[in-house]
Chain A
C-alpha cells in the first residue's frame, strides 16, 4: 500500500511524514517519527505499553489508525518533560522510588499517571489504581509505581506547578 503524507501534532510540534494508511499510530510514532519511547507489547489492547495521550486522554496507540489521529494533539512519553527540559515530577518520582525495573511498561504508566495528575493532584489510592488499571507491569508488583504517583502528587501540590500546554484537553468525539 503506497505511503501517504500525514500531519501530526506531536509533543507540541507539527510533524509531517509519509506513512502507510494501514499503519497504527504506534507504528508511525516508532518507525516514522523515531519516537521509540512508546513501547509495543501485545499490540492487541491487552497491556497498555503503547499508551499515549490524545487531546489529554490516555488511549492505546496500537489500536488507533494513524490516519485517524491527524487532527489531535498527541503527547508521548518524550513530551512529558517540562518546557525547560526538566523531567515531569512523576518521572523523577519513578526514578527515586524505583518504580521501574525492566522499564518496558514505564512509558505507558508515566503517560497514564500524568493524565491522572493533570486532572487532580490529590488522588486517592483507589483513583490511582483505577487510572493505572489499563497498564500491566510484570516486574514491580505495582506498589512502587503507586507510591511514585503519590510522591509526585504531593510535590505537585506543594509547588503547584502549572500544567504544560501540550496537554490541553480539547473536547473530541
Chain B
C-alpha cells in the first residue's frame, strides 16, 4: 500500500473555522518552516500529491462539511452562483448549466472518470496545481533525478537554462469560466474580495494560483448570458477518460446576423495558466465567419501557443491540436446543434 505521510486532519464546519485554522498555521510557518496547512475539498489532487510527497502539509483542513460552499443557483438577472464545493458530477448534470452554459457542463463532464467527478469539486479544480512530467512523480523518481525547481532544487528539468517553472495549467473548468467572464469570491481573514477568474492565474508554474496562503474560494459567479450566446469546450486527451488535457479550447461567441458580435477564446493545457487569445478574438470580431477567416484564426492561435516538452504529447502535436481544435470550436459555435 502507498501510505500518506503523517498529518493532522481537521474537518472545518464553516468558512470562518477553515480561515482560522489556516491562519494559525501560516503565522506559525514564520517561526517553523515545517508548519504548514493545506485546504482539501474532494482530495483528488491533494491526496495523490501527498502520496508522492509532492505536498507534505502538517495539517489538512477538510472543506467537505462546509455547507456554505454548496449549491447551484440561477436567476436570469444575476446569472449563476456556484459554491466552490459543488462537485464536478453536479456541474455536468445540472439542467440549467447544460441549457445556459453548455461549455461549462462539457468541461466538467470530460474531466477524468465518473468516480473522480463524484469526488472532485469546482473549487479544487480551479485551484489545481500545475502539472509536469518531472513533478507528478513519486518521491523516489524525483529524488533519483535530484528534484526540480518547483520542489526541492534550483534547476528546471524542462528548461535548465530558464529562470522559471513551466508546469502546465490543466484544470478544465478554468478556461471556460474565463471565457464566460466569471468572477470568484475569496474569503480571507481580512475580509472577502471578488476578482475575475482570469486574475486568479499568472505566469508562475510554481505558485500558479494567486491566492494568499489560507484564502478560501467560496463562490463563483457567471453572468447571465444574453439568449444568443453560444459556448463550447473542445478537449484533446489520449484516452476518452482519465486523462488531463493535452490541449483544449474554450470558446464563447455571440452573433449579429451572420457577423460575429463578440467572441472569447481561451486555451488550456499549453501554458502555466489558461491562455486567452485576444489577437484571435480581434480577428474574428465584427466579421462574417467564412472558412478562410476561421482558418486564419486557427493559424494565429497556433502561433500564440508555445508549450514545453513536459506533458503527454510532443510539442509539435500539442501545437497542431491547438490549431485543429480552435477550428473545431469555431465550427461548433456556428453549428445549429449548439444554438439554445
Q: What's the interface size class on A, roughly?
A: 20 to 34
**Using Cβ atoms and an 8 Å threshold, which residues of chain A touch B118?**
57-59
Q: Once the chains bind, are B70 and A63 in contact (CB under 8 Å)?
A: no
A130 to B112 Cα, complex, angstroms: 11
Residue B242 lies at the interface, judged by CB distance under 8 Å to chain A? yes
**Using Cβ atoms and an 8 Å threshold, which residues of chain B touch A173?**
64-65, 67, 70, 85, 87
A60 to B116 Cα, complex, angstroms: 7
Selected A-B contacts with CB under 8 Å, 10 pairs: A22-B5, A24-B4, A44-B52, A59-B118, A59-B119, A63-B47, A68-B43, A130-B114, A173-B67, A173-B85
Residue A88 lies at the interface, judged by CB distance under 8 Å to chain B? no
**Using Cβ atoms and an 8 Å threshold, which residues of chain A touch B52?**
44
Residue A81 lies at the interface, judged by CB distance under 8 Å to chain B? no
Q: A133-B114, A134-B114 are in contact. Are A65 and B43 (CB under 8 A)?
A: yes
Q: Once the chains bind, are A58 and B115 in contact (CB under 8 Å)?
A: yes
Taking CB atoms and an 8 Å cut-off, the chain B residues in 270-321 that contact chain A are none
Please report the total number of B residues contacting A with Cβ < 8 Å.
35
A138 to B253 Cα, complex, angstroms: 43
**Using Cβ atoms and an 8 Å threshold, which residues of chain A touch B3?**
22-23, 27
Q: Once the chains bind, are B6 and A40 in contact (CB under 8 Å)?
A: no
**Using Cβ atoms and an 8 Å threshold, which residues of chain B touch A133?**
113-114, 240-241
A173 to B6 Cα, complex, angstroms: 26
Type the 1/0 row for B1-40, where 1 means its CB is closer than 8 Å to any CB of A: 1111111110100000000000000000000000000000
* Other-chain contact of B2, A31, A44, A130 (Cβ < 8 Å): A44
Taking CB atoms and an 8 Å cut-off, the chain A residues in 55-105 that contact chain B are 57-60, 63-65, 67-68
Residue A46 lies at the interface, judged by CB distance under 8 Å to chain B? yes
Residue A123 lies at the interface, judged by CB distance under 8 Å to chain B? no
Q: Once the chains bind, are B116 and A45 in contact (CB under 8 Å)?
A: yes
A65 to B240 Cα, complex, angstroms: 28
Residue B79 lies at the interface, judged by CB distance under 8 Å to chain A? no
A51 to B118 Cα, complex, angstroms: 12
Type the 1/0 row for A21-54, where 1 means its CB is closer than 8 Å to any CB of B: 1111011001100000000100111101001000
Residue B328 lies at the interface, judged by CB distance under 8 Å to chain A? no
Residue A5 lies at the interface, judged by CB distance under 8 Å to chain B? no
Q: A22-B4, A24-B4 are in contact. Are A68 and B114 (CB under 8 A)?
A: no
A68 to B85 Cα, complex, angstroms: 15
Residue of A nearest to B41 (CB): A173
Residue A166 lies at the interface, judged by CB distance under 8 Å to chain B? no
Type the 1/0 row for B240-251, where 1 means its CB is closer than 8 Å to any CB of A: 111000000000
Q: Once the chains bind, are A43 and B241 in contact (CB under 8 Å)?
A: no
Type the 1/0 row for B152-187, where 1 means its CB is closer than 8 Å to any CB of A: 000000000000000000000000000000000000
Q: Once the chains bind, are B6 and A46 in contact (CB under 8 Å)?
A: no
Residue B48 lies at the interface, judged by CB distance under 8 Å to chain A? yes
B interface secondary structure, majority: loop
A43 to B62 Cα, complex, angstroms: 20
Q: A21-B9, A68-B64 are in contact. Are A51 and B4 (CB under 8 A)?
A: no
Residue A11 lies at the interface, judged by CB distance under 8 Å to chain B? no
Residue A112 lies at the interface, judged by CB distance under 8 Å to chain B? yes
Q: Once the chains bind, are A51 and B64 in contact (CB under 8 Å)?
A: no
Q: A45-B112, A59-B115, A63-B44 are in contact. Are A23 and B4 (CB under 8 A)?
A: yes
**Using Cβ atoms and an 8 Å threshold, which residues of chain B touch A65?**
9, 43, 47, 62
Residue B142 lies at the interface, judged by CB distance under 8 Å to chain A? no
* Other-chain contact of A46, B67, B70, B85, B242 (Cβ < 8 Å): B242
Residue of A nearest to B64 (CB): A68
Q: Once the chains bind, are B115 and A22 in contact (CB under 8 Å)?
A: no
**Using Cβ atoms and an 8 Å threshold, which residues of chain B touch A27?**
1, 3
**Using Cβ atoms and an 8 Å threshold, which residues of chain A touch B89?**
57
Q: Once the chains bind, are A40 and B114 in contact (CB under 8 Å)?
A: no
Residue A151 lies at the interface, judged by CB distance under 8 Å to chain B? no
**Using Cβ atoms and an 8 Å threshold, which residues of chain A touch B242?**
46, 134
A112 to B42 Cα, complex, angstroms: 19
Top 5 A-B residue pairs of the complex, sorted by shortest distance between their CB atoms: A134-B113, A133-B241, A43-B2, A134-B115, A44-B48
